[in-house]
Structure 1
Amino acid sequence: MRYILLLLLPFLLSANLTYSSNYAREIAILDSFDIDASFLYDPIMNQYKNSNIEIFKDEKFFEAMNDAYIFIPAIKNILTKYNIPPEFLFLSMAESEFLIKAYSVKKASGLWQFMPPTAKQYGLRIDEFVDERKDFIKSTEAAAKYLSSLHKKFGKWYLAAIAYNCGDGKLSKAIEVAGSDELSVLLDPKMTYIPKESRLYLRRIVALAMMGNDEHFLLKSEYEYLLNRANAYSISTVRVPGGESLSRVSKLIGIPLNELQKLNRHLKYDFTPSNVNSYDIYIPYIKLSEFKQKYFEEKVKNIYKIHVAKKNDTVFNIAKAYGVPFKAIMDFNNLNSARVSSNDRVVIPMNSKVVDTKTNKSFSYLVKRGDTLESISKAYKISVENIQIQNKLKSVSIREGARLKL
C-alpha cells in the first residue's frame, strides 16, 4: 500500500496543483466582473459550466470558431484599449457564439448582437450597401464604448453585463425596486427583479469565461488549438475607393475571394459602398506589403446601383433601362435566368461614363408638396443618409420643386 501511495503521489500533487491553479484563476475571473468569490458555488452557474462542456465539443461550435479565430486578437486589443476586462470576450460568445452572421428574431445582428437603434447611436452604418454590426472591428469598438458607458453609469462590471442584455433602463428600475445593486439580490428568482433571461445570461458569461481559462479543460479540447491559431493571425485595415470590388482586390493580391469575404462580411455585396469617396476593408497582415505594391485604382470606375425589381421585370428590360450590357448584370448577380421576382435586389454595375451620358431623369426625383426625405427613402428603398450624401444635404429639410439625385 505504501509503495502504491508513493507511485500515486506525483499524480495527486499534480492534480492538487491544477485544482489550486484553476481555483485561483476562477476567483480572479469573478473579481474581473466585480463578483464576490462566493458566486463560485452558485449552483445554476456550475450547471451551465458542466453543460457548456458539450458546447465546446460541438461540431457547429468549432465551425463557428474556425471562422472567428481571426477576430479574437483584435477583439482582445480593443477591449484592452477601453480598459474593459478581457473576459468580456465571452460576452460576445454568449451573444452570438462568435457567428458574425448571427441574427435574432428581434433584429439584433453581428458578433455583439446590436439592435439597429443602438448600433446607429454608436456610429455603426446600416444601409443598402453595408451592415457594420457585422464588421468585427467597428462593432467591437461600438460594444466597448457601450460597455464603458454602462460601467460608468452602474459602477460594476457585472451590472454593465446585465444592462447590455436587458437595457440600462430596465436595470435601473430593478435596482430601485430592490433597493440594492448586489448580485445576490438581483438574481433572486422569487423576486424577479431582472428578467430570467438576464439572470441566466450573466451566469453563462461567467461559466464560459471560466472554461475558456481552464488549462486542464483546454488541453483536452480543440479550443486551445483555435486560440493559439488566433494569436498567430493578424489583420490589416486598408482604404480603397468607394465602389471597389472585392473580386478585383482578391486577384490583385492573390487571396481567395471567400477568405477576403470572411473578413468583410459587413459588405452586403461584392463591392464597397459606391456613394462614398473611400471605405476601409480588411486583409490578412501578410498581404499588406503585396497590397501596397500591386494595388491601384482603376481609371474607369464602376458605380453600383441597386435596382429593386418590380412586377414583370426581367434582366433584359432592367439592362435596357440602365444602358448596361445584359451579360454584365447576369454575371455580377450570379443569375442563371433572366427572370427576377418582385422586390428582388439586382446590382447594376454601371461604368462611370455611362452614368455621365445617361439622362439624369432616370436617377432623379422632383420633390412634391408634403414630401420628406424619409418618405422618399421608403418609396425608393434608399437610405436617408444615401440621399443626403448624393445631394450634399446638411439637414433633412427639402423644398418643393427641388430635384434630388437618387
Structure 2
Amino acid sequence: MKNKLWNLAMIFFVSATILLSIRSVNLKDDEKYYYQNYKQSYRIFSPEVPKDIDFAGEKVPTDTFYVYENLEREILVNTYWHSNTLLLFKRANRWFPVIEPILKANNIPEDFKYLALIESGFLNITSPSGAKGFWQLLKGTATDYGLEINDQIDERNNLEKSTQAACKYLSWAHNKFGNWSLVAASYNMGVNGIQKQLDNQKVNSYYDLSINSETSRYLFRILALKAIFSNPTQYGFYLRQADLYPIIVYDILEVDSSISNIPDFAKNYNLSYKMIKELNPWILTTSLPNTSSKIYLIKIPQKDMTNYFKLKDGQSKNLGIFGDRKVEE
C-alpha cells in the first residue's frame, strides 16, 4: 500500500514538473513572440511636411530652414498627440459649418477657422488672462466689438456673435498690416506688439521676426492643423464621418423679456437646464434679466435632436473626413 502511494506521489510530482516546465517554455516563447511582434509591427514615421503651403493665400517660405523646421515641429506634435487631434477633428465637424459662413460674409479668409481651433480646441474655456470662448477674447476687446458681458451673460461664449467680433478685429488688423500672416500673429501678441517688433527689426514679414516662443509657434500651429485637416490619412487619421460629432439642429426662440427661472423655462420645452446651457453657453446663471426688452436668441433643439443616436443617423460610414471626404471604402 505504501509503495502504491509512493508511486502515485512520484507520478504526480513528475507530471507537475513537466507541466511547469512546458508552461515556462511557453511563457518564454510568448514573451519572445510578444517582443518580436512589437518590433515588427510598431512603427514611427516622420510625417511629410508640405513644401507648398499657404496661409490665407500667402505662400509660406518653407525653403528657409527654420521655417521648414518650425512647421515640422507642429506637424509632429499634432500628428502624434493622437487623442487631442482626434478630438479636434470631432469638434470641428460640428463647429466649422457655423464659423465658415461668418468668415466668408466678412471677407475673412477661411484659414482663420484654424486660429479659433488652436485658441480653444473648440471649448468654451477661460485662459489665465481671462480670455474666454472659442475665440479667446479678452473682456475689453469683446465689449469694444459689441459683445455683452455681465454677471448673467457672456457673449464671448456665443459662437455666432463672438465670431462676428473676431472678424471685426481681423478686418481692422488687416487694414493696418495688409498681410494676413501678421494679422494672425497679432491675434496672439497684439497689433502694437507686432508692429514694435517689425519696426525694431526692420522687417515686414512674420517669418523674419525673432519673437517670443508662443507667438513664433502660433502661425505654425495653425498651418500644421491646416495640413493635417487637408489630408488626414496622410498623417495616419483614418476616420469616417460617423466617427465625428454630429451637427445639432435647433430652432431659434426670440425672447424680449426676462426669464426668472431658466430650469422652469426649459421644462416648458421638455428640456433640462443642462440642455439649454449646452446650446446657449452664453447664459451664465439660472435667470435672464431683461429690463431693456432686448431681443435674445435662444437655441432650442429640434425634435429628436436630444437623442444622440438619431443625431448620428445619416452620417457616412465611408472612409474620409475633411480633405479626404471624397475617399470611398
Question: 2:229 corresponds to which residue?
Answer: 212
Question: 1:272 corresponds to which residue?
Answer: 288
- Scaled by the length of structure 1, the TM-score of the pair is 0.56
- Scaled by the length of structure 2, the TM-score of the pair is 0.68
Distance 1:238 1:58 in 2: 34
Partner SS state of residue 173, structure 2: helix
Task: Report whether the alignment pairs 1:254 with 2:263.
Answer: no
Label 1:235 to 1:50 Cα distance change in 2 as closer, same or farther (>3 A): farther
Label 1:223 to 1:87 Cα distance change in 2 as closer, same or farther (>3 A): farther
Work out which of the residue numbers 108, 114, 135 in structure 2 matches 1:90: 114
Distance 1:261 1:254 in 2: 14
Task: Report whether the alignment pairs 1:114 with 2:137.
Answer: yes
Distance 1:171 1:52 in 2: 26
Partner SS state of residue 263, structure 2: helix
Work out which of the residue numbers 159, 183, 195 in structure 1 matches 2:206: 183
Kindly report which structure 2 residues correspond to 1:279-294, keeping only aligned pairs within 5 A, or say none.
Answer: 279-284=295-300, 286=302
Partner SS state of residue 208, structure 2: helix
The answer to which of 145-154 and 233-242 deviates more is 233-242
* Higher relative contact order (CA closer than 8 Å, sequence separation 6+): 2
Work out which of the residue numbers 48, 51, 75 in structure 1 matches 2:99: 75
Distance 1:66 1:215 in 2: 13
Distance 1:235 1:218 in 2: 34
Kindly report which structure 2 residues correspond to 1:144-223, keeping only aligned pairs within 5 A, or say none.
Answer: 144-186=167-209, 192=210, 194-217=211-234, 220-222=237-239
Q: Which amino acid aligns with 1:270?
A: T
Question: 2:70 corresponds to which residue?
Answer: 44
Partner SS state of residue 172, structure 1: helix
Q: Is the 8 A contact 1:212 1:218 kept in 2?
A: no
Q: Which consecutive unaligned segments of at least 5 residues does structure 2 have? A: 1-47, 304-329
Kindly report which structure 2 residues correspond to 1:200-349, keeping only aligned pairs within 5 A, or say none.
Answer: 200-217=217-234, 220-222=237-239, 225=242, 229-230=245-246, 232-244=247-259, 245-284=261-300, 286=302
Label 1:67 to 1:261 Cα distance change in 2 as closer, same or farther (>3 A): farther
Label 1:73 to 1:283 Cα distance change in 2 as closer, same or farther (>3 A): same
Query: After superposition, what is the alpha-carbon deviation per residue over 1:144-171, rounded to whole angstroms, capped at 9, x for unaligned?
Result: 1111111121111111100111000111
- Percent of residue pairs identical: 26
Q: Is the 8 A contact 2:258 2:288 kept in 1?
A: yes
Question: 1:358 corresponds to which residue?
Answer: none
Distance 1:118 1:35 in 2: 30
Q: Is the 8 A contact 2:232 2:238 kept in 1?
A: no
The answer to which of 266-275 and 91-100 deviates more is 266-275
Q: CA deviation at 1:57?
A: 2.5
Question: 2:160 corresponds to which residue?
Answer: 137
Q: CA deviation at 1:270?
A: 2.2
Q: Is the 8 A contact 2:153 2:284 kept in 1?
A: yes
Question: 1:319 corresponds to which residue?
Answer: none
The answer to which of 112-121 and 265-274 deviates more is 265-274
Distance 2:271 2:92 in 1: 18
Structure number with bigger Rg = 2
Q: CA deviation at 1:246?
A: 3.5
Query: After superposition, what is the alpha-carbon deviation per residue over 1:64-91, rounded to whole angstroms, capped at 9, x for unaligned?
Result: 7766754331111111111212121111
Q: Is the 8 A contact 1:65 1:98 kept in 2?
A: no
Distance 2:292 2:103 in 1: 29
Distance 1:209 1:108 in 2: 24
Q: CA deviation at 1:42?
A: 1.1
Distance 1:223 1:198 in 2: 34
Q: CA deviation at 1:138?
A: 0.9
Distance 1:68 1:103 in 2: 19
Q: CA deviation at 1:222?
A: 4.6
Query: After superposition, what is the alpha-carbon deviation per residue over 1:91-113, rounded to whole angstroms, capped at 9, x for unaligned?
Result: 1111111111x111111111111
The alignment yields a C-alpha RMSD, in angstroms, of 3.0
